Amino acid sequence: MKKCVVIIPALNEEKTIGGVIDEVPKMLYGEELNMEVVVVNDGSTDKTEEIAREHGATVINHSMPQGVGASFFDGVREALNRKADYAVNIDGDGQMDPKDIERLLFPIWCGGGVDMVTASRFMDAGKYPKMPVVKRWGNERVAGIVSSIVGKKYYDVSCGFRAYNKEALLWLNLHGRFTYTQETFINLAGSSRIRIMEVPVEIKGEREFGKSRVASSIVTYAVRSGSIILSAFKDYSPIRFFGGLSGMFLMIGILFETIMLINYCLTGHFRNYLWAGLIGAFMAMTAMIFLILMIVSDTLGKIKRTQEEILYFNKKREYYGDDEWKA
């Protein structure tokens, strides 16, 4: 019998956590897949922990809130500790229907060459959630940015309802504590080792109780998730990141130098537009700095990828044993 660990990060979800746990299937696929629920209680001050335990979940406690990203990664480590064959992460706020877990797991379970399946709120027009226009616009923009980074079109990279096989779990190495959704895409899809599939799923656009700790402020969410995306982009595509910045500053520098030269051709002297030459020289120097950073970061990126491969095999041996490691 195979095992799937359902990871539920939760902060003050006493009104919904019990119902979410109860709706998680106990067995799937003709009782060939056993489901185990792990709630990562991220410093809740209400009865989230007690209710989760009463409804049969294992609870991992944080003494104080550490962020959804940190909670998710602790859940991943727990799934690996349990030698899980699969894992599913779902929010504890009741916006997602646990009955859809089977839909997410099936493409992986049936051996269709998929390692991670993510629920998509925007792939099917008939399943669009009700949410503020600004929030939906922001989700679409973020999806566009991440899609351009990984080189494949995705409609929704911010939904926290996903399924993974153990290969995807072993390759996951995340650093963002605020959130994990976009970084996961760049980490896994950007590596070209993990195959990701979107499945349209109907999800509530707004919480019934409380406020989202991730998206309660559009500005805060944009700034903090944007910094995570940029950091991941820098790590996994340093040539595109620093090369793009270098090219941008070089073009601006050339523009200002051209202005100065045109003035010289017209007047025979530089003094009226010397400022343009100085700005152009500064931009060219900045472009050179970014070019050097690109070369250094690309070298460091190769070292990082080698370290990730070593970490992957070490984790595979640690969590799944020598026989699995040799396979």
Nearest to 131 by CA among 199, 247, 191, 221: 221
pLDDT at 327: 47
Positive/negative CA dihedral, 72, 86, 37, 120? positive
Helices (H), the chain: 17-23, 48-54, 68-81, 101-109, 133-150, 166-171, 181-189, 218-236, 238-267, 274-326
Residue among 223, 225, 135 nearest 186 (CA): 225
Nearest to 46 by CA among 180, 216, 209, 220: 209
Neighbours of 148 (CB within 10 A): 12
pLDDT on residue 324: 56
Which residues are registered as beta bridge partners of 200? 120
Task: Check residue 211 and give its pLDDT.
Answer: 60
**CB proximity list for 46: less than 8 A, separation 6 or greater:** 12, 13, 14
Tell me 99's DSSP state. G
Hey, what amino acid is at 287? A
Q: Which two tokens stand for residue 53?
A: 């335990």
CA dist 153 and 46 (Å) reads: 40
Is residue 224 within 8 A of residue 175, CB to CB? The reply is: no
Per the structure block, which two tokens stand in for 70?
């940190």
Residue type, 178: F
pTM: 0.79
3-state secondary structure (DSSP) of residue 195: coil
Residues 20/52, Cβ–Cβ less than 8 Å: no
| Tokens read off for 90 | 């779902």
Return the pLDDT at 325: 47
d(CA 78, CA 5): 9
Give the pLDDT score at 124. 85
Residue (of 117, 234, 244, 137) closest to 185 by Cα position: 117
Q: What is the mean pLDDT of each run of 10 residues along the chain (327 residues)?
A: 95 94 93 94 94 96 90 93 95 92 94 90 84 80 84 88 94 75 79 84 73 58 70 79 94 94 85 89 96 92 85 89 56
Rounded to 5°, the CA angle 35-38-39 comes to: 140
3-state secondary structure of 108: helix
Which positions ≥6 away from 248 have C-beta within 8 Å? 287
**The pLDDT of residue 126:** 80
133-150 and 181-189 helices, crossing angle to 10°: 20
